Amino acid sequence: MPLEYEELVAFINNSPTAFHAATNIRQQLAQSGFSELSEKNSWTLVPGGRYFVTRNSSAIIAFVCGQQSPWESGFRILGAHTDSPALRVKPQAELVREAYVSVRVELYGGTIVSTWLDRELSLAGRVLIRTKQGLQSSLVNIKRPIAIIPNVAIHMNREVNKGFEYNPHSHLPAILVAAPGNAKSGAFMELIASECGVSVSDVVDTDLFFYDATPARTAGINSDFIVAPRLDNLAMCHSILKALENAPNSNHTSAGFFFDNEETGSHTFQGADSSFARHVLERIVLAQKGSREEFLRAAARSFLISADMAHALHPNFADKHDDKYAPLLNAGPVIKQNGNNRYATTAETSAIFESLCQQCEVKVQKVINRADVGCGSTIGPISSSDLSIPTVDVGNPMWAMHSVRETAGTSDHGNIIKVFRCFLTDAFKI
């Protein structure tokens, strides 16, 4: 298997939540010579300097300063999101019923609910702890299966194969303990406190999510498929990270956006629909003695690639696709277009990305949904409209988007990294 694929598998397996993904991105950036900046402090930047900024411990913007000022050469930006659909644990949601201890969950994003049942589930996220120095945040990842959400037997639900709708409140509490005669409340919080090395009374609040305990792996006779949780959108985060790690000292300033909360609309402090990107890009200009005028000039010279996974042709549901725009696994990155601007792609930005792929000798595909089938959206339209930067929406093709287990092509990952690396060089002219 290619090295890029092996690194992607490790990245996914070590990133069960957006908090863990951001932590892994931070660590890998630091190992590649990037220095962390704080939004609270003034910035001193130098040409060729490599920096990153974090928000909410779940979103990151990284950049490499160009040899020329941004208003002379612009920004070249790659953007993705760190979050994925999941089951979020409600705080203080432990239930004791009959002989069982469970916890209630709520749906985070547009998950395919049925795929979460009858799975061995682990738990990960962030815990806020009271200390003598004030509140502290602690990452938690219980790597062993601790819960299951069992289906009811078909004998008790004869309609299950005819389109049964699961009720998130009633049907999805995750069962943790079966202890006839000894089931008692408190087991869940005791587990969390123990993982953090504190007492239960020190735990103030939590951001915890269940995740599929089965690691990412290959499938297929020729290992054509990667089957994994959170391919949408950790695969694109990882490809951007690999491109940034090797970003050369170019005339332009290269940047990578890793936003949180795309799956719930991006309307958060750490999402694409916040001021995060605009403030960081403007501060890069200001730190190099530019003004608001120079920031606007820099935006006009810039280009953004919004990277989010794309829908591949599903051979068992071929009628769901427009057969003229039905990308295949292992056949190259996909340009995403939509007549109602759910994607930011225009004819001009599409042509630019096509020429980029041609220069890299990587085949490119396009997807447009059937006219009677709607599509989702990405950070692309939000970022493009807020920053006034031309944008193209792209991604690698995949099946079962928003399932607890998703499938993509093993060779596509290396190809899109190759394209992103080329984009960040001066050799590619926009």
Using the Cα atoms of residue 15, residue 16, residue 21 and residue 22 in order, give the sign of their dihedral.
negative
> Which CA distances in Å does 129 have to 70, 187, 193, 205?
41, 18, 9, 7
Mean pLDDT along residues 90-112: 93
For the segment 217-262, what is each residue's pLDDT rounded down to a tens digit?
999 999 999 999 999 999 999 999 999 999 999 999 999 999 999 9
pLDDT exceeds cutoff 80 at 183: no
Domain covering 3-84+229-423, topology: Aminopeptidase (3.40.630)
**pLDDT value at 410 more than 70:** yes
Q: Is the pLDDT of residue 144 over 60?
A: yes
Q: Is the pLDDT of residue 184 over 90?
A: no
Q: Mean pLDDT score of the chain, rounded to an integer?
A: 95
What mean pLDDT comes out for the span 109-116? 97
Count CB neighbours of 383 within 10 A.
Answer: 23
- Show the tokens assigned to 425: 């060089």
Report domain extents, the chain: 3-84+229-423, 86-212
Residue 281 and residue 298 in contact, taking contact as beta carbons nearer than 8 Å: yes
* Percent of the residues in the chain that have a pLDDT greater than 90, as a whole number: 91
Q: Would you say residue 311 has pLDDT above 70? A: yes
Mean pLDDT of 296-312: 97
Whether 60 shows a pLDDT value over 70: the answer reads yes
SS (HEC) of 276-296:
HHHHHHHHHHHHCCCCHHHHH
Cα within 13 Å of Cα(340), Cβ side: 10
The average pLDDT across 166-172 equals 95
Please name the residue ranges forming H helices in 230-346. Answer: 231-245, 276-287, 292-300
Query: Would you identify the CATH topology of the domain 86-212?
Result: Aminopeptidase i, Domain 2 (2.30.250)
The pLDDT of 71-93, averaged and rounded, is: 96
The pLDDT value recorded for residue 1 is 54
pLDDT of residue 2: 64
